[in-house]
Amino acid sequence: MGEQTENSRDYELLLNEIINIGKEMIKSGAETDRAEDSMYRMLESYDLEQCSVFAIQSDIQATIKPKGGHFITQIRRIHRTGFNYDRLDYLNNLSRQICMDTPSVEEIRKKYDEVMNRKPLPWYLQFVAPILGGVGFGVYFGCDWLDTIVGVIICGVIEVYLGNMLSKKEDNLVVYNLIIAFLSAAAVLLAGKVGFGHHPDRIVLGLNMVLISGLGVANGIRDVLKRAYLSGLLNITNACLGAVAIACGTGLAMLIFKGDMYEMYIAPSIAVQLISCGVASMGFALVFKAAVKQSVYAGIGGAINCAFYVLGLNLWGNDFAAVMAGSAIVAAYAFRMSRVHRAPATIFLTTSIMPVIPGASLFYMMHGFVQADYELASQQAIQLAKTCLAVAFGFLLVEIVTRYVGEWKVTGAEQ
């Protein structure tokens, strides 16, 4: 009886460590189905009769039954998620090592602590990254040189410096987005009133791209298409709430300082689009705390994405087809980079896809609702839905191809 109790205790500790890894993967930006699959693989590499894992953005539930033992269930609440791709990369490597070597609980805990205590990116990269992302997209949306200078200053002061201070005290993303969006828009509008900046709407839109979670809508639709309905709805809801907060913050600044955001953006030359998208994607990778080398490849992926989107638009004249083509190319690129760097594909996928993510549509849709301009809101809602579906279908297309090609290779090798 004592031996069985001790054995159960070991498996309880094992399950605890595996769930810790899965929880931190989700908190660091992993897709819930990938984190769930990693936990399955780690647990099933040990001597278990049964194993069941369920994960969403806010909760993990797992039940295991060791051979000859009792059922063990643990539940873990996830209070806040974000992006830390360096940590995700090392957690992914740790999960592979556990699957291959089945180390003891003590060894897992030691390796886990090493990952969690890794040094963060240098402070100067943490400062520069949001500027590259926000200003890069500002240029993509048509900002001129004076607009870019305004964007650099305001992004550095408000979204980096004040944003970092606020994030230490404010866990509610809606409140955080509302405050930062208001301060950023107010600063841009005030600068415009004294002649510093020609296109305040484009500057604000570029800065808001650092806050807008348009990717959450696209990932949410992709989850729904994969029948992960709960995760999909949570992604979409969180993205829309974030966008509402940004639109309200920007709208409040417009009401106070009499600003106008209805000019809409105008795309610059193709060369400028490619460069700005590459810079912005690299900046977002650094914002998400990816390694510098991986961030450079994410920037290359962003430029490739933009190139194929523009090419598709010129060939077919159809925005849906162009977005889908760009998304499929990026998904294939991310799959290849994951093999080259032995890192999760999501590091390259979620950063390289940023140029076609409908952050502008999401912002203008919510802005239309806030300003009671329902014609603008409905137009942008339709565009948002079309773009998100195109992104999701592009991702799914590559996922289906890689899955069946992989199965075909395995079948061929067995024969």
Percent of residues in the chain assigned helix, strand, coil, to nearest 5: 75, 5, 20
Q: What whole-number distance in Å separates Cα of residue 35 and Cα of residue 231?
A: 12
Residue 144 covered by a domain:
yes
pLDDT at 292: 92
How many domains, in total, are found in the chain?
2
Shared domain check, 83 and 143: no
Nearest residue to 249 (alpha-carbon basis) of 177, 173, 191: 177
Shared domain check, 157 and 100: no
Shared domain check, 375 and 264: yes
Rg (CA), the chain: 23
Q: What whole-number distance in Å separates Cα of residue 348 and Cα of residue 337?
A: 7
Q: How large is the average pLDDT for residues 73-96?
A: 91
pLDDT of 165-193, one tens digit each? 888 887 777 888 899 989 998 999 889 88
* Domain final residue, candidates 69, 94, 116: 116
Q: What whole-number distance in Å separates Cα of residue 352 and Cα of residue 393?
A: 16
The three-state secondary structure class of 122 is coil
Tokens 């929880």 locate to 23
pLDDT at 400: 82
Q: How is residue 52 written in tokens? A: 């069941």
The whole-angstrom distance between residue 156's C-alpha and the CA centroid of its chain comes to 21
pLDDT at 265: 57
pLDDT at 406: 56
The three-state secondary structure class of 100 is helix
Q: How confident is the model at residue 411 (pLDDT cuts 50, 70, 90)?
A: very low
- Which residues span the domain enclosing 104? 2-116
Residue 296 covered by a domain:
yes
**Angle subtended at Cα 356 by Cα 351 and Cα 358, rounded to the nearest 5 degrees:** 105
Task: Work out whether the CA dihedral 149, 361, 331, 238 comes out positive or negative.
Answer: positive
Least confident of 54-63, 120-129, 137-146, 214-223: 214-223
Measured in degrees and rounded to the nearest 5, phi and psi for residue 65 equal -135, 105
Report yes or no: 343 and 294 within 8 Å, Cβ to Cβ. yes
pLDDT at 410: 38
Shared domain check, 19 and 161: no
Shared domain check, 58 and 26: yes
Q: From residue 292, give the alpha-carbon distance in Å to each of 118, 306, 308, 385.
A: 15, 21, 25, 33
Least confident of 35-39, 70-74, 115-119, 223-227: 223-227
Q: What whole-number distance in Å separates Cα of residue 391 and Cα of residue 7?
A: 48
Q: How many residues does the chain have?
A: 415
Least confident of 19-33, 55-69, 178-192, 195-209: 195-209
pLDDT at 261: 56
Helix (H) or strand (E) holding 177: helix 173-193
Residue 187 covered by a domain:
yes
The residues that bridge with 66 in the sheet, in sequence order, are 48
pLDDT at 337 over 80: yes
**Angle subtended at Cα 179 by Cα 249 and Cα 355, rounded to the nearest 5 degrees:** 70
pLDDT at 287 over 70: yes
pLDDT at 130 over 70: yes
Residue 244 covered by a domain:
yes
* Domain final residue, candidates 56, 90, 116: 116
Q: How confident is the model at residue 114 (pLDDT cuts 50, 70, 90)?
A: very high
Least confident of 50-59, 178-187, 295-304, 348-357: 348-357
Report yes or no: 250 and 208 within 8 Å, Cβ to Cβ. yes
Which ranges in 28-82 belong to alpha helices (H)? 32-44
Report yes or no: 180 and 211 within 8 Å, Cβ to Cβ. yes
Nearest residue to 175 (alpha-carbon basis) of 262, 225, 98, 246: 246
* Domain final residue, candidates 116, 145, 172: 116
Residue 410 covered by a domain:
no
Report yes or no: 103 and 97 within 8 Å, Cβ to Cβ. yes
Output the CA torsion 165→168→170→175 (10° steps). Answer: 40
Higher pLDDT, 169 or 15: 15
Q: How large is the average pLDDT for residues 391-406?
A: 79
